Amino acid sequence: MLGLGVGRARGAGRPGAAGRPGPASTPLAGMDPATVDRLLAERAADIPLGRVGDPTEIALWASRLLADEWVTGHVIPVDGGMAIA
């Protein structure tokens, strides 16, 4: 992701940034809901905010990155603090 964001900014002179999402509360294909809830709870224990993200939170940051031409050449973590844990 970093190479894509920096490469686009450097090579084309155009804005290029990327988001790096953490775990989000989405359905996992083929798994029963109780297993999904257990796996998400286990992941939440490793996240400083104590919960997994909501897909709308990740989508909000993605839309901000698309709208902002000044932020370029960076990968922005959208992970509830996992990058610093």
| Mean pLDDT, residues 51-76 taken together | 84
The token duo for 18 is 């990327």
78: which DSSP letter?
A: E
CA gap 72, 52 in Å, rounded? 27
| Structural domains in the chain plus CATH codes | 2-84 (3.40.50.720)
pLDDT of residue 19: 83
CA gap 20, 73 in Å, rounded? 13
pLDDT digits (tens, 9 = 90+) for 17-59: 778 888 888 877 678 888 888 998 999 999 999 999 999 999 9
| Mean pLDDT, residues 69-79 taken together | 80
Q: Which residue has the tokens 């993605």?
A: 62
Give the dihedral of Cα atoms 22, 28, 31, 34; nearest 10 deg: 60
N- to C-terminal Cα distance for the chain?
Answer: 20
Bigger pLDDT: 73 or 41? Answer: 41
pTM: 0.67
